[in-house]
Structure 1
Amino acid sequence: MNSEETNGGLPTADDVVTAADVRAARERLEDVVHRTPLDRSTTFAERSGATSVGLKLENMQRTGSFKSRGAYNTMAQLSPEERERGVVASSAGNHAQGVALAGRLLDVDTTIVVPEVTPSAKIEATRGYGADVVVEGDIYERSYEHALELADEEELSFVHPFNDEAIIAGQGTVGLELLEQYPELDTVLVSIGGGGLISGIATVLEARDPDVRVVGVQPEGASHAKPSLERGEIHELSDVDTVAEGIADTRLLEKTFAVVRERVDDVVSVSDREMSVAVTLLAERAKTVAETAGAAPLAALLSGTVDVDDEHVAVVVSGGNVNLSEHGELTRTGRMELGRYAEARLAIADWPTGVETLAATVEQHGAELDVLERARRTATDDPNRTPVTVGVAGSGPEHLSAVLGALDERDGIGVADDTLDE
């Protein structure tokens, strides 16, 4: 009787990937990927109660995420015939760039199928590495199905984004670096989409130091791993609803589920707003740009979802592929959650000269006027005043309340009552 028959039809973790597989992957990747930095953060340690916090900055990896590790490790092992025919992959963005880069380095033609929600920055970056990009499907699962159809119709090798032994082994090289850079490590927090990254990292850590706790982090709107572990079988979501498109998968698959259930200690969920706060604080305190998927582990740390008192904690910042307008929206949301940004509706007399009074008042009170736009007039607006909406940044809720109060007291400026009530 083989191991799959004794394990409910599923492979065991050792059937999928071992620490030796990860070490072999590292040799293939030695001259291809960056050894990304581990940035210690006193600020995040103090905020979380941890003894120390180390940010493993995979957003500084080639292509802007960890995905190039697994993609190259997989494609480097293709036969000459498979390389000649080319490969196809499906991705929400980061795997796409990893496969495209590997294709360029190995001289393999690549076709990438991405869902409609994929940010334009990721699509353009993928094309920049030489791949053909096909936009198909409203969610990732539809893109995945289309990529499999292309593989069958055109005899292409399909490079799976996570449910593949070589992919998992390549991603596990992050764990090898963590052990070398952070030997005192107690807990590591890792995002989960399909589970490839956490499977690889957990494999390395279990083999070297089984006392290190591995915790997966998912968005509340795409939280499939926890119920899968609780039920002992793969749980598939019918839909996902999260701003973190990079980990907006609907399920684990057989290989990643096998590894996660044996080697991952826990899985937690965070909200989109908590991830926005993490994106904001990474930019402000760590001076690093992260996408929401990459910031999810920090969101779990700072929200108190995981107890890390007196521990040495690694936070894997898995990617930083986010366009500037989206990053701006995320940090605005984050600052609002932190009580350092407020939006208000005002009524200004003497347009446009009243704008000067408004701006001067904000500046005099040590705040920043971030946005000022004319608002659509409603039936309740004074016909002799111009309605506007403003965004004001300050140091905290009390400061912003004082600024809005000062605006309301100025002649020719009125602040909506519901804004002041907030």
Structure 2
Amino acid sequence: MLTLDKVYHAASVLKDVIRKTDLIHAPRIYPESQIYLKTENLQITGSFKVRGAYYKISQLTKEEKAKGVIACSAGNHAQGVALAAQKNGIRSLICIPDGAPISKVEATKSYGAEVCLVKGVYDDAYKKACALQKESGAAFIHPFNDPDVIAGQGTIGLEILEQLPDVDAVIVPVGGGGLISGVAFAIKSMNPKCKVYGVQASGAPSMAKSLEDHKIEELKSVSTFADGIAVKCPGNLTYDFCSKYVDQVVTVTDDETATAILTLIEQHKLITEGAGAVAVAASMFNKIDIKGKKAVCLLSGGNIDVTILSKVISRGLLKAGRLGDLTIETMDRPGRIKEISAIIADHGANVVSIHHDRMMENMGVNACSVKVRMETRNHEHRKQICEAIADAGYHVIP
């Protein structure tokens, strides 16, 4: 069903449509290895998804194209299908979960697609799309469980091997598994010694659990801000490909992903969505053995809503010890807040806000609590400040 020739054919079809994204050296992501970033977040439509969607639609017959296409998506596949349909002059209807970022929904509409918002997550949108497909007879463009779609995504593997022939490991985000299936198939077919690792959100580990149990497992629910990989159940094709070609699938927390997004912004001026940053998170937090190796982290997409981005940055700062709260119990006397602020300032931290509370339970009548939010360099810096405040005679509440 999938051959290397098909992947090369997909590359030929896509060469005048998509962007051959850069491979950027990122020495500070994980200094103990040589990390490179495959920047599919800078792809047209802001995601790798256009590769598989366009190649699939290009292979439809004239009769199939005449009936239009239908798809389901958390947002990125939607944009890929919408753009591919627009370029082929055919109608498209996309079912999208109602919780998808507004930016993804509006971008999909901008490519001329009709959008149907469905209450729930990706899997609910999938069921709705299947029902509408039966009614209309339109061609269904599956986001991951399709050989042509997988072949399109596999073109990324060809590009990586061309850009970094001696790569030791490739780290790929995993939702339904279409991306890693194509990438792993292409890479293992040409360089069997190269390791291919998958990364899922800990709140949506459908592929990781399926591989662990040696059978396809459907999760009861998923919970992660990485909506692009929030999939309850992998496909049968992608499960088979991952079982055969993927060396390991690990998980990262939302806090770890937020830290990775913040790191990519600060160090490399790159914006990624949650799903797009999980490979970097796995590298940063040592989830995969890549010490001393050349490894490529695939940044799968950059379509993050700005309102979510602001929250993610705050979470990333907290995780990295760059922003945090400190609660201090003291006697309610003039000058105490000034003294505490002076200690913080003397240690090079910045006070963001102060809340003074005289009414906390389990405190003396003349006591009060001072809650300080401050910007620090890291967790060690925060620890030093806490110790200095305690040495000054104040009680720091854990």
1:323-362 equivalent positions in 2, closer than 5 A: 323-344=305-326
| Equivalent residue, structure 1, for 2:76 | 94
SS at match of 2:242: helix
**Measured at CA, do residues 67 and 345 of structure 1 come closer, stay the same or move farther in structure 2, by a change above 3 Å?**
same
Mean Cα displacement is larger for which, 64-73 or 255-264? Answer: 255-264
Contact 2:328 2:397 in 1 (8 A): no
Within-5 A mapping of 1:164-183: 164-183=146-165
Distance of 2:24 and 2:338 partners within structure 1: 43
* 1:264 positional shift: 1.0
How far 1:112 sits from its partner (Å)? 1.1
Q: Secondary structure at the match of 2:301?
A: coil
Give the CA deviation at 1:240.
1.1
Write the deviation string for residues 230-280 of structure 1: whole angstroms up to 9, x where unpaired. Answer: 333211111112221110111211111121111111111111111111111
Contact 1:111 1:133 survives alignment (8 Å):
yes
Q: Distance in 1 between matches of 2:390 and 2:228?
A: 43
Match of 2:41 among 53, 59, 64: 59
Matched, 1:137 2:116: no
Taking a change above 3 Å as real, the CA distance of residues 22 and 127 of structure 1, as seen in their structure-2 partners, is same
Structure 2 residue aligned with 1:265, among 239, 247, 254? 247
Structure-2 change in CA distance of 1:376 and 1:138 (3 Å): farther
Equivalent position of 1:297 in the other structure: 279
d(CA) in 1 for partners of 2:100, 2:290: 34
1:23-68 CA-to-partner distances (Å, cap 9, x unmatched) read: 000111001100001010111241xx21x11110110001111001
TM-score w.r.t. the length of structure 1 is 0.84
CA contact (8 A) 1:25 1:170 kept: yes
Other structure's SS at 1:172 match: helix
Does residue 1:31 correspond to 2:31, yes or no? no
Match of 1:74 among 56, 59, 73: 56
| Stretch moving more, 397-406 or 186-195 | 397-406
Which residue of 218, 230, 233 corresponds with 1:236? 218
Q: What CA deviation, in whole Å up to 9, does each residue of 1:364-411 have, x standing for no partner?
A: 7644455x598999676999xx9997643221234345667899999x
1:146-191 per-residue CA deviation (whole Å, 9 max, x = no partner) reads 0111111122211100001111000011101100111110111101
Aligned position for 1:9: none
Change (3 A) 1:318 1:389: farther
What SS does the aligned partner of 1:101 have? helix
Any unmatched runs of 5+ in structure 1?
A: 1-14, 348-353
Q: Name the structure 2 match of 1:21.
A: 6
1:55 match: secondary structure:
strand
- Distance in 2, Cα, partners of 1:178 & 1:90: 28
Q: In 2, are the aligned partners of 1:341 and 1:400 still within 8 Å (CA)?
A: no
The answer as to whether partners of 2:261 and 2:316 remain within 8 angstroms in 1 is yes
1:5-27: per-residue Cα shift (whole Å, max 9, x none)? xxxxxxxxxx3x12111100011
Q: Which residue of the partner structure matches residue 44 of structure 1?
A: 29
Deviates further, 272-281 or 63-72? 272-281
CA distance in 2, matches of 1:148, 1:289: 33
The residue number in structure 2 matching 1:281 is: 263
Distance 1:356 1:170, change over 3 A: farther
Shift of 1:228: 2.0
Is 1:421 the counterpart of 2:382? The answer is no
Alignment deviations for residues 94-123 of structure 1 (CA, whole Å, 9 cap, x no partner): 111111111221112111111122111111
Change (3 A) 1:379 1:390: closer
In the superposition, the TM-score normalised over structure 2's length comes to 0.88
Q: Name the counterpart of 1:322.
A: 304
Residue number among 101, 108, 129 corresponding to 1:126 in the alignment: 108
Contact (CA 8 Å) 2:327, 2:397: kept in 1 or not? no
Is it true that 1:312 corresponds to 2:312 in the alignment?
no
Kindly state the Cα deviation for residue 137 of structure 1 after the two structures are TM-superposed.
Answer: 2.5
Within-5 A mapping of 1:360-399: 366-368=348-350, 372=353, 391-399=373-381
The residue type paired with residue 8 of structure 2 is R
Which amino acid is 2:216 matched to?
I
Q: Which residue matches 2:332? A: none
Cα 1:390–1:330 shift into 2, 3 Å: farther
Q: How far apart, in 2, do the equivalents of 1:232 and 1:18 lie?
A: 24
Q: Which amino acid aligns with 2:19?
A: H
Q: Superposition RMSD on alpha carbons, in Å?
A: 3.1
Q: Would you say the 8 A contact 1:344–1:390 is kept in 2?
A: yes
Q: Secondary structure at the match of 1:218?
A: strand
Q: Are the aligned partners of 1:123 and 1:133 in contact in 2 as well (CA < 8 Å)? A: yes
* Conservation of the 8 A alpha-carbon contact between 2:167 and 2:294: yes
- The number of equivalent residue pairs is 394
Taking a change above 3 Å as real, the CA distance of residues 120 and 343 of structure 1, as seen in their structure-2 partners, is farther
Would the aligned equivalents of 1:373 and 1:390 in 2 still touch at CA under 8 Å? yes
| Matches of 1:398 and 1:35, distance apart in 2 | 42
Check conservation: 1:66, 1:318, Cα contact below 8 A: yes
Mark the CA change 1:387 to 1:213 in structure 2 (over 3 Å): closer, same or farther. Answer: same
Q: Measure, in 2, the Cα distance between the counterparts of 1:104 and 1:43.
A: 40
